[in-house]
Amino acid sequence: MLQKLSLTGKRISLRTPTRDDLPILYNLIYGVENPEWKKYDAPYYPLEFCTFEKFSKRMEERMNVTDVPSQMIIEHQGQIIGMVSYYWEDKRTRWLEMGIVIYSPEHWNGGFGTEALSLWIDYLFENLTIERVGLTTWSGNPRMIRCAEKLGMRLEGRMRKCRYYNGEYYDSIRMGILREEWDEFKKNNPLFNSHGRTN
């Protein structure tokens, strides 16, 4: 089991999930039919219902690692509001992509996602042998695009009209940032003056 890890920012913190978090996470994801967050988080892939038992097993498998966690919980004032994650597009070539979801609309547009991703990007560069962190989204999620831009990520690819959803075509958007670009971004961003980390 991965040791407990916490990354502390100005208003939010990231931490590894525990078994006690599983009922809360399950309710945030599956508690209502057609949740609002799913309208922006790749809605062209329908949210398939999952039993709590299956969900718990899947989460515990992800928690049962001994190195860098593939996902962390986002907390604000002791409340779980979302998650960050990463996955290997191609581990052999060290091609890594990250993701984020903020479940509650009340926490959208408040800068929570930007702060969470800044902590996450920094952690990934510090703990993995990679030269780039990528993020894939779609043109139907302008908040995600703006969030990535605020963190210095660049548009690297736009696959036009390859996502069909609700009778409309959307673009697939690929963004990324290199290690040297991230280091330069941190030097000029006051957000990092308040970051801390505890294990």
Domain membership flag for residue 148 = yes
Close Cβ partners of 82 (under 8 Å, ≥ 6 residues apart)? 73, 74, 100, 101, 102, 103, 104, 107, 112, 113, 116
Domain membership flag for residue 199 = no
pTM score above 0.85: yes
Pair of tokens at residue 85: 């994650």
Close Cβ partners of 176 (under 8 Å, ≥ 6 residues apart)? 132, 133, 134, 135, 153, 154, 156
* CA atoms of 128 and 69, how far apart (whole Å): 11
Q: Domain tally for the chain?
A: 1
Domain membership flag for residue 109 = yes
Pair of tokens at residue 88: 């290997």
Domain membership flag for residue 78 = yes
Residue type, 119: L
* CA atoms of 199 and 69, how far apart (whole Å): 13
Domain membership flag for residue 198 = no
Note down the domain range covering 163.
6-192
Is the Cβ–Cβ distance between 14 and 6 less than 8 Å?
A: yes
pLDDT tens per residue, the chain (199 residues)? 556 889 999 999 999 999 999 999 999 999 988 899 999 999 999 999 999 999 999 998 888 776 899 999 999 999 999 999 999 999 999 999 999 999 989 999 889 999 999 999 999 999 999 999 999 999 999 999 999 999 999 999 999 999 999 999 999 999 999 999 999 999 988 666 544 443 3
pLDDT in tens, 38-58: 999 999 999 999 999 999 999
